Structure 1
Amino acid sequence: MDTIPAVLRAAAAAHGSHPAYVEDGRTLGYDDLLTHVRDVARGYLAHGVEPGDRIVIWAPNSIDWAVAALAVTYAGAILVPANSRYTAREVADLVDRTAARVVVVADGFLGRTQVADLRAASDLASVRLVQDIARLDELVEAGETVPEETAEARADAVRPDDVADILFTSGTTGRPKGAMSAHRQTLGVARAWGEHGGVGAEDRYLAINPFFHSFGYKVGIITGLATGATLYPLATFDLDRTMALIETERITVLPGAPTIYQSLLTAPGREHRDLSSLRVAVTGAAVVPVVLIERMRAAAPAGLGIDTVVTAFGMTEAVVVTMARAGDPAELVATTCGRAIQGMETRIGEHGELLVRGEYVMLGYLDDPEATAAAIDADGWLHTGDVGELDADGNLRITDRLKDMYICGGFNVYPAEVEQVLSRMDGIADVAVVGVPDERMGEVGRAYVVPAPGAAAPTPEAVVAYAREHLANFKVPREVRTIDALPRNLGGKVLKNELRAPARSTEKKD
């Protein structure tokens, strides 16, 4: 059972009508989930989807997202999730680079016109169908021309080493790279995460982490299949709704970025909510204060009373590498990312860089053998770009980043991508972006802008507006500073450590 279709069938057989998903009064059992997935897969086949074709999903969390995604692999195709906050230009780039046959979108999400914007951004030469996720019944109707036996044969033909998904992550060059994973890898990390987190069929799992991210898709949707847990998808994080769901649905598992738990702990009216059902929390993606772990474990009303709180380390190229374990002391959980999971190895290489190797390291980057060779050496070690330390027990502590990536609200932001966009703005001669601490988001972007000679310096508001037009919201710098020149070393490299300092004497006072 090392393919996603096989695990879906096994889950339906083992759990029957036990709820797989609950959302806004709609409940879908594991048996009905299989039926819905098969029917949508038949719809893909009716539109000419062949084994190995790519299908992009650009939508927020929902039951329909899970159905549409699982149907991709059931049809023998490859899933390409797109960030729901991306602009149409960013999604069009993914569609064109993957030569996607189908694009599933949430038209109207956040008040936007996704379908029209996407068609305006690209001619979508490879695309045969742009499907609104709110009308999956249209796919089901189209699939009625395809016999069930044909869909089952397509699912039977999927092999463990076939590519299951391509998750894009921006590299230091600013160009997104597609990390390819096989079915056995996507399933393996989901099973490992579920095992170390102690997740089972009796659990009710609040899926706040976005499904387009590995934290939501692989250790959310796929972990659900592997364990029989019930998932409650949330399209957007709303604090009051989150507390209401925990209380009324007796949520037991709540993974998320540290900001989720900080928001819960400081939420107005929390003392009037019964959040005692929470028993498992897994966090990561940012430095976690020791006091936060202590408060998450502390009994109400001071804390959340969560019995098992663990941290983890992973990346798109290797979704789960290390995890803390239940019973680890709060300081270890807060200051380390735990130990390597089964099937993975860690070591510290040159310049203190963390290297990882094992079963869950990606197959490689899509259509980019040079980037793949640069990331994975001849001995199979993935060079993470993070500087770390390993203690005597193998617990990993991330101490710095070789790359300049920062984490805003749980999402990775690569300054080179933002810099490339801002450098195209009229009036800007040079630009550098760094991550700076933020109490709510963990880190936010600060852009240092050098005006073009003889040009009026663009206002901070204009720079932010330009960024919003071209980039997802979490990538948009929250602060813009005008500067005479960027600090550089003799080799021309920008000295970003200087830019991260609280203040600079060379900044212009506007």
Structure 2
Amino acid sequence: MEWGSIPELVRYAAERYADTEAVAEGRTRISYAELGARVERSAAACLANGVRTGDRVGIWAPNTLDWIVAALGAVSAGAVLVPLNTRFKGTEAADVLRRSGARLLFVTGTFLGTSYVASLRRAAGSSGLPRLENVVVLSDDAPADFRTWKDFLASGDGVGEVEVRARAAEVGPGSLSDIIYTSGTTGRPKGAMITHEQTLRAYETWSDLAGLERGDRYLIVNPFFHTFGYKAGVIACLTRGATMIPQPVFNVNTVLANVASERVSVLPGPPTLLQSLLDHPGRAAYDLSALRLVVTGAAVVPLRLVERLRSELGVATVLTAYGLSEASGIVTMCRRGDDPSVIASTSGRAIPGVEVRVDCPSADTPGEILVRGFNVMRGYWEDPAATAETVMEDGWLRTGDVGVLDEAGNLRVTDRLKDMFIAGGFNAYPAEIERTLGLHPDVADVAVIGVPDARLGEVGKAYVVRRPGSVLTADDLIAWSRREMANYKVPRAVEFVGELPRNASGKVVKGELRGAGG
């Protein structure tokens, strides 16, 4: 491996793939050499604005070229990247910024009709975000106390290349590269700490197993705030010299248009994306013949989906994988040449350098999935108690997921100890949703479970105990939820009950709710 840090990878890609198209965004086309230059300019601006090695830098924006340049620039300046979910409301974003101690934030202007700047201001309130010193708006317009992206970049023009590269040289393989915040069953966001070495090794491996090649044209629909978008997308493309085509919003019409016009060859995404593509009534009007590689996961993958991708679209390679933020986003993966039934029914085998076992009394019995290897996080940011609960002393990571290993070592994920469900490819955590719903003045008690949904895979259903005298309706609570939480977390159904089933220790017995037709 020629690089030990992400800044080294960026410079390597800029030199080795200099004339290859790095990013295609509408009419904007830049080569790897130009991408390298833009990232160095972004890093120089970070230095000029006081970013120190190890500082946390947040980014709250959709998939764009500016996201790539801002994020890689911050990491090249020695910062630890903290990506924020674009579906977060202001209070959710402010909480992560506060807990991570971010000093700089890159934020989009208006996205999907929402002003992220105004949302952040409202959420910060009178207490504010005292450690957040600079906010850079990734547009040509910003409030007086924030800065535009153009002005931010210009502020670094006095910082020389020597200084930028000296800072990048301070970043070693063991330095933290990012903190990915994920909420567990306690509902409290926890930041998984991942290093440069872990990131590079994991996505070099991912690229090898997937067969990503120089010259591939990669449509990145998976959000950059998620490991699947940033690392299996941006980082993987940098390692191979593939062209990145960022798409800010999932829209099947746009996906079809991009695949056809950009001659897209690589399209990772959740099963819902692929199903929508196959079922689109106008699909035949688009030339999708360049598509050769699809990687999916995050939910059960119907065998019919794998077969249709191969037969109807002629996709040569369809692979499934399993990962979680605490394990650098990748644990197992199918291999090219695996039987379609293996690809559809399992998430493949452990990647090289990683062990997977299932904590169960006998073979073929479901149990908690445990992972050990180079990919296991360094712990949760400033949360030693949660770290000790999750990473055992002998290095095994408790995933909270339940699964079965077959004789060949293929993993089938069957359930989730943490009750997490996956809505449209996004992890939704019932405890976090319950905590927010509990803030409603008419809600006395609440439990949330995931239920099947034909379009999104799973959605939330809330069982609610109303306060005495309340006339709260399901529609009222759902409308309130849409104002208070990201869309994928919003329960799609509400059932009012007299009381929730609880065991002797007072915990809600969600199995009874599911058994009641949840």
TM-score grouping bracket, smaller chain normalisation: over 0.9
Aligned equivalent of 1:507 = none
1:444 pairs with 2:451: no
8 Å Cα contact 1:43/1:144 also seen in 2: yes
**Partner Cα separation in structure 2 for residue 492 and residue 96 of structure 1:** 32
Q: Which runs of 5+ in 2 are unaligned?
A: 140-147, 362-366
8 Å Cα contact 2:219/2:247 also seen in 1: yes
Name the TM-score, length of structure 1 as normaliser.
Answer: 0.96
What is the 5 A alignment of 1:71-90?
71-90=73-92
Deviation by residue 1:291-334 (Cα, 9 ceiling, x = unmatched): 11111111xxxx22111001000001111110001111111101
Name the TM-score, length of structure 2 as normaliser.
Answer: 0.95
Q: Which runs of 5+ in 1 are unaligned?
A: 505-510
8 Å Cα contact 1:281/1:306 also seen in 2: yes
**2:70 aligned to which of 44, 68, 71:** 68
8 Å Cα contact 2:217/2:264 also seen in 1: yes
1:334 pairs with 2:344: yes
Deviates more, 1:435-444 or 1:240-249: 240-249
Aligned equivalent of 2:470 = 456
Q: Which amino acid aligns with 2:405?
A: L
State the Cα distance separating 1:350 from its structure 2 match.
4.5
Aligned equivalent of 1:310 = 319
**Partner Cα separation in structure 1 for residue 170 and residue 156 of structure 2:** 19
What is the 5 A alignment of 1:410-425?
410-425=425-440
Aligned equivalent of 2:226 = 213
What is the 5 A alignment of 1:486-497?
486-497=500-511
**Partner Cα separation in structure 1 for residue 469 and residue 236 of structure 2:** 54
SS of residue matched to 1:385: strand
8 Å Cα contact 1:428/1:457 also seen in 2: no
8 Å Cα contact 2:331/2:351 also seen in 1: yes
What is the 5 A alignment of 1:278-297?
278-297=291-310
SS of residue matched to 2:155: helix
Aligned equivalent of 2:211 = 198
What is the 5 A alignment of 1:231-380?
231-298=244-311, 303-318=312-327, 319-350=329-360, 352-380=367-395
State the Cα distance separating 1:498 from its structure 2 match.
2.3
8 Å Cα contact 1:457/1:482 also seen in 2: no
Q: Which amino acid aligns with 2:339?
A: P
Aligned equivalent of 2:144 = none
Deviation by residue 1:149-184 (Cα, 9 ceiling, x = unmatched): 211110111111000000000011001100000000
State the Cα distance separating 1:413 from its structure 2 match.
0.4
**Partner Cα separation in structure 1 for residue 222 and residue 426 of structure 2:** 10
Aligned equivalent of 1:129 = 134
State the Cα distance separating 1:415 from its structure 2 match.
0.2
What is the 5 A alignment of 1:42-191?
42-122=44-124, 123-134=128-139, 135-191=148-204
**2:30 aligned to which of 25, 28, 38:** 28
**Partner Cα separation in structure 1 for residue 18 and residue 378 of structure 2:** 34
State the Cα distance separating 1:489 from its structure 2 match.
2.1
Aligned equivalent of 1:400 = 415
**Partner Cα separation in structure 2 for residue 294 and residue 360 of structure 1:** 31
Counting matched residue pairs gives: 499
State the Cα distance separating 1:17 from its structure 2 match.
2.0
Q: Which amino acid aligns with 2:60?
A: W
8 Å Cα contact 1:40/1:136 also seen in 2: no
**Partner Cα separation in structure 2 for residue 69 and residue 130 of structure 1:** 14
1:478 pairs with 2:492: yes
**Partner Cα separation in structure 2 for residue 461 and residue 12 of structure 1:** 53
State the Cα distance separating 1:502 from its structure 2 match.
6.0
Deviation by residue 1:215-248 (Cα, 9 ceiling, x = unmatched): 0011111001111100100000111111111111
State the Cα distance separating 1:399 from its structure 2 match.
1.6
- Percent identity between the two aligned chains: 49
* Cα root mean square deviation, aligned: 1.1
**Partner Cα separation in structure 2 for residue 402 and residue 254 of structure 1:** 30
8 Å Cα contact 2:44/2:164 also seen in 1: yes
